[in-house]
């Protein structure tokens, strides 16, 4: 096994094997592995002057790394201090993209230079509009052993031109992400700032063995759909020790959209998220609403959220199908939110008229525990689907307080239990005869 893969495998195994006796668990402590070769984008005609378009320089550098794919240990591509204006470019396997302190990879605002690519098969069309979608600024397909790291350099999407088109409804196709990796494995993203993405910031889709650690994601709170990190039909993923302030959900787990996601059938599973701080107008942590491939076996802990729309939001809809199960969220501090918690079965639109509204999602075994919130307007809403009751929902030690009288819980089509919840929980979860699964 190459040294870089051995290092990542060791980190992922350590995530599962660390004892609970005092040490802070972590799945990535760095540094990135030492590569067998080193090269700078400046050696390929690149200029970090903020004016020169460096798309060709990045492409030439990555092509050189690809030709050296058999070289022992892979190659590090160094981005020196400076502002490196560029259009979209692809990565390759066995490489590290390293941003020095003071390095900025800045996206061109010439939208005509962004190539179109096919829609994701689990979505069937662009997420915003029918047809294709724009290539992400940094993209990878079918890769192995990729590190995107550095000394907290910045990847700047200059997204305002895209946000304006969205607001004016002049977008011809779905906006690009800052970083998208597809069908890739053994990936680490760490110690980088993502800023002003046109659309979602970080989007691993159909990936496995992914670590995202010590990143900062920034976008104005009024920037449309600038989700921080969206995991999509991916498995064995760890996100930790990061700060996110964005215009939509800070972290969301997805797995495809209606009939396309059902047919593709790839769930998101085996996900750990911890020690996240952030703010935004939507959810701090979300599942959905695109969950047609299923989402399962998720552990989220130690969130510090402020100024949120919703603290925790689990969302799906009739026609989605799929499942959401074995989700645990704990140790959450929430300073200001419209809702503390929402678990809802009526959220999100559909890709086209071909979806089947009778294909219902299954939501089972969701545990929310050890949550404290202040300045909360509405405690929460847990609203299942009449013919698909959300079951084994557990709330334990959830204390939510408002500056005045906090709005009560609202529930329907849900079963489960609640222990030590403030304000008093709805009658659907108030039974004391079914609390065994909630205390274990």
Q: 94-110 pLDDT, tens per residue?
A: 999 999 999 999 999 99
Between these two residues, 72 and 273, which has the higher pLDDT value? 273
Which of 291, 139, 149 is CA-nearest to residue 200?
139
**Of the listed ranges 140-144, 208-212, 379-383, 402-406, the one predicted with least confidence:** 402-406
Q: Does the fold of domain 249-439 match that of domain 34-231?
A: yes
433 pLDDT band, cuts 50/70/90, is low
Length of the chain: 440
Encode pLDDT of 128-163 as tens digits: 999 999 999 999 999 999 999 999 999 999 999 999
Q: Indicate the CATH number of 34-231 among 2.160.20.10, 3.40.50.720, 1.20.120.80, 3.40.50.360.
A: 2.160.20.10
Alpha-carbon span 44 to 41, nearest angstrom: 5
Q: What is the chain's percent helix, strand, coil content, to nearest 5?
A: 15, 45, 40
Give the whole-number percent of the chain exceeding pLDDT 70: 93
Q: What is the pLDDT of residue 435?
A: 66
User: Taking the domains of the chain in order of start, what are their residue ranges?
Assistant: 34-231, 249-439
> Taking 50 as the threshold, does the pLDDT of residue 14 lie above it?
no
Residues annotated as catalytic are 248
What's the pTM value of the predicted model, to 2 decimals? Answer: 0.94
Q: Indicate the CATH number of 249-439 among 2.160.20.10, 3.20.20.70, 2.40.110.10, 3.90.1150.10.
A: 2.160.20.10
> Taking 50 as the threshold, does the pLDDT of residue 251 lie above it?
yes
Q: What is the pLDDT of residue 12?
A: 43
- E strand map for 151-263: 153-156, 179-182, 185-190, 192-195, 202-205, 208-213, 216-218, 229-232, 235-245, 251-254
Give the angle 93-97-99 at the CA atoms, nearest 5°: 175
- Annotate 339-361 with b (16+ C-beta within 10 A) or e (fewer): bbbbbbbebbeebeeebeeebbb
Encode pLDDT of 19-71 as tens digits: 333 457 888 777 778 899 999 999 999 999 999 999 999 999 999 999 987 67
Encode pLDDT of 211-230 as tens digits: 999 999 999 999 999 999 99
Encode pLDDT of 312-324 as tens digits: 999 999 999 999 9
Torsion angle (degrees, nearest 10) of CA 348, 402, 371, 391: -50
Between these two residues, 16 and 292, which has the higher pLDDT value? 292
> Taking 60 as the threshold, does the pLDDT of residue 372 lie above it?
yes
Q: Are the C-beta atoms of 153 and 104 separated by less than 8 Å?
A: yes
| Contacts for 134 with CB less than 8 Å, ≥ 6 apart | 88, 111, 114, 115, 116, 117, 173, 174, 175, 176, 198
> Taking 60 as the threshold, does the pLDDT of residue 9 lie above it?
no
Give the whole-number percent of the chain exceeding pLDDT 90: 87
Inter-CA distances, 263 with 349, 355, 374, Å: 18, 12, 42
> Taking 60 as the threshold, does the pLDDT of residue 328 lie above it?
yes
């Amino acid at each position: 096994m190459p040294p870089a893969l051995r290092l990542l495998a060791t980190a992922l195994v350590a995530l599962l094997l660390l004892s609970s006796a005092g040490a802070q668990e972590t799945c990535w402590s760095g540094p990135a592995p030492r590569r067998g070769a080193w090269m700078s984008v400046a050696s390929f005609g690149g200029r970090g002057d903020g004016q020169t378009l460096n798309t060709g320089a990045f492409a030439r550098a990555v092509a050189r790394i690809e030709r050296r794919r058999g070289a022992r240990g892979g190659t590090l591509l160094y981005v020196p201090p400076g502002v490196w204006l560029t259009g979209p470019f692809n990565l390759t396997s066995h490489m590290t993209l390293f941003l020095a302190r003071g390095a900025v990879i800045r996206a061109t605002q010439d939208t005509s230079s962004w190539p179109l690519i096919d829609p994701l098969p689990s979505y069937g069309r662009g997420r915003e509009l029918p047809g294709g979608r724009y290539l992400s600024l940094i993209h990878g397909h079918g890769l192995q052993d990729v590190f995107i790291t550095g000394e907290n350099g910045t990847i700047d999407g200059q997204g305002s031109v895209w946000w304006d088109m969205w607001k004016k409804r002049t977008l011809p196709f779905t906006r690009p992400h800052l970083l998208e990796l597809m069908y890739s494995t053994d990936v680490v993203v760490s110690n980088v700032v993502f800023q002003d993405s046109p659309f979602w910031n970080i989007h691993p889709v159909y990936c496995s063995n992914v670590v995202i650690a010590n990143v900062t994601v920034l976008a104005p709170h009024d920037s449309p759909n600038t989700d921080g990190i969206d995991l999509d039909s991916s498995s064995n993923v760890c996100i930790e020790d990061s700060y996110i302030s964005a215009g939509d959900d800070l972290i969301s787990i997805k797995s495809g959209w209606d009939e396309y996601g059902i047919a593709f059938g790839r769930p998101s599973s085996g996900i750990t998220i911890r020690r996240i701080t952030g703010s935004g107008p939507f959810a701090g942590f979300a599942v959905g609403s695109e969950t047609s491939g299923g989402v399962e076996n998720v552990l989220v802990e130690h969130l510090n959220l402020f100024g949120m729309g919703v603290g925790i939001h689990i969302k799906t809809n009739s026609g989605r199908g799929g499942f959401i199960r074995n989700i645990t969220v704990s140790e959450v501090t929430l300073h200001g939110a419209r809702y503390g918690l929402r678990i809802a079965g009526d959220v999100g639109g559909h890709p086209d008229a071909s979806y089947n509204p009778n294909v219902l999602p299954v939501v089972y075994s969701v545990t929310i525990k050890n949550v404290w919130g202040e300045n909360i307007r509405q405690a929460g809403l847990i609203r299942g689907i009449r013919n698909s009751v959300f079951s084994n929902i557990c709330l334990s030690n959830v204390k939510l307080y408002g500056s005045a009288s906090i709005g009560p819980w609202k529930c329907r089509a849900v079963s489960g239990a609640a222990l030590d919840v403030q304000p008093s929980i709805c009658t659907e979860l108030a039974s004391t005869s079914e609390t065994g699964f909630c205390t274990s």
